[in-house]
Every structure is written in C-alpha cells, then in structure tokens.
Amino acid sequence: MASEKIETENTKEKEKKNLIIILGSITGVIIIVFMIIIYGRYRLTEKQNAIIESQKFILENKNEIIEGKQREIIDSINYAKRIQYTLLAHNEFLQENLREYFVYFEPKDIVSGDFYWATKIDNLFYLAVCDSTGHGVPGAIMSILNISCLENAIKEGNTEPAEILNHTRKNIIDRLKKDGSKEGGKDGMDASLICFDFKSNKLTYAAANNPVWIVRGKELLEFAPDKMPVGKHDKDATPFSQHQIDLQKGDVVYTLTDGMPDQFGGPKGKKFMYKQLKELLVSIASMPMNEQKEKLQSSLNNWKGDLEQVDDVCIIGVRI
C-alpha cells in the first residue's frame, strides 16, 4: 500500500510538472507571438511615420514653391503698380492747376482698371476719370492702352472733349482689332472728360457712361453721359456729344466711376446705389476736400463691412 501511495504521488508530481511545462510553453509562445505583433506594429508605425514625414517634406517643399511663386507674382504686380501710377495725374500737377480738390482712388486689387488722367493745353485744364474694362492686371493693362490712346488723340491736335473721345475710341478699336478674336475686341472704357476754363469759369465735358455732377449749395446738378462706351459698340459710329456749363464760385464738381455705387453691403447686402451717393455728396460738399475724401472712404468701408470690394473705386471732387 505504501509503495502504491508513493507511486501515485510521483505520478501527480510528474503531471504537475508537465502541466507547468505546458503552461510555461504556452505562455512563452503567447509572449513570442505578442512580441512579434508588437514588433510588426512598431515596424508598420515606423513605415507610416516615414511616409508621413516624406509627404510632409514634399508638402512643405510644394508650399515653399507656391509661396515663392506668390511672392514673385505680388512683387511683379507691385512693380506694375509703380508703372501704372507714373501714368496717372500726379498730385503736384493737380495742385498746380486746381484750387481745392480730392482724389479718392481705391483699387479692388493692387493695380486698377480705373484711372484718372490730366493734361493742360494753353489755359485749359483737362481731367479724365475712366473705368477700363476689367480690374486687376487685365484692367490695368487696358488702362495703359486707354491712356496711350487719350494722349495720342491730344497729339493729333484734338482739343474739344468730344473730339478727344471720338479719336480715342477710334484708336482703341483699331488697336484691339489685332486681338485674334473673330469680331475684334470690344474692350475699352467708360469715361468722363472735363475741360476747365478757370478764366471764364466754364466747364466743357463729354462723357461715356460716367456722369458729371455739380453740387451747388444744397442742390446736386446732374449732367448725364452718352449711353455708350469709348470702344467698340453698336453706336461706335455716333459722335460723342459735348456740353458746356457756366460755373459759379463755390461749386463742387464731382466725376466718378461706378465702383462705389455698385458696392454690396449694408444690413441687407444690397448695392450702395447712385441715389445714396448723391445724398452723401450733398451732405459733405461744404466740408474741406480732404475731409470729404475721408468721409467717402469711411462710408464705403462701413457699407461693405466684411464683404469683398467688388470693383475699383475712383471719385474726384474739385471746388471752383
């Protein structure tokens, strides 16, 4: 009996040891499998991180290239702005010939399709405020062409505002015939061209879509333009009309493009409109000219709020 008991205990001890060995082996296998999985995950993570770093490097490199190109473009446009501004009427020239005035010029982009230009012939002072087709770079290129055509019209001996616009239109149409389109380019500009004779206190003007306004006291006198542009149009064979106005001391003459009236904003996101601009000008006409400019600028900024500026803005006021 004793020997059987000892044998039974030995068998149990062997079974216990075998169980421990089996459990140890299984645990070892599990640990090895777990380590393999962890290592695999680690390798995968390393690969993913390497891919992410590579993509990040490529993206950063592309961003640097894009930013570099953007800087080059902006630098080029800023240089174009400098060139364009040399063609506009200089402040010194305006100060020499106008008693009191302001120029409110607010391009939508860095360069502008709107422009203002001036020249003097004998005792007559000519002032043009124009809105070329387009804005930004295309508008600016068009404005340079338009200024060139205005200057050529003067060089050809034209001194009457209507004659100048007629010849300018012909030059623009002739030049744009070569643009490669089937019918020839229909670009050009809206314009008001005013001739001041300060000795006789007379104003002579011709206008294409751009109005001329005079505030006299608390009244706004509106002088309508011809309803056609300076460029190719159904009416491009029709001469521009010319008008003469007797000025009075204290009159404020305004000439402008459609940028401010067309600006969206206000509580309902609507256009500023000509009516509101007329009322504003009547209310500020007695102010000093620099204050009028500031009032126009603040009124436009308050109106548009966070909305984008939709077009170039140009308004010039001259006090007689």
The tens-digit pLDDT sequence of the chain (320 residues) is 556 666 666 676 777 777 677 767 777 777 777 777 777 777 777 777 777 777 777 777 777 777 777 787 787 788 888 888 899 999 999 999 998 999 999 999 889 999 999 999 999 999 999 999 988 888 999 999 999 999 999 999 999 999 999 999 999 999 988 766 666 667 899 999 999 999 999 999 999 999 999 999 999 999 999 999 999 998 989 999 999 999 999 999 999 999 999 999 999 999 999 999 999 999 999 999 999 999 999 999 999 999 999 999 999 999 99
- Tens-place pLDDT, residues 157-208: 999 999 999 999 999 999 988 766 666 667 899 999 999 999 999 999 999 9
pLDDT at 39: 72
266: nearest Cα among 293, 313, 300: 300
pLDDT at 312: 95
pLDDT at 72: 78
pLDDT at 136: 85
In CATH, what number does 90-319 get? 3.60.40.10
pLDDT at 155: 94
CA 98 to CA 94: how far, in whole Å?
6
Domain definitions of the chain by residue range = 1-87, 90-319
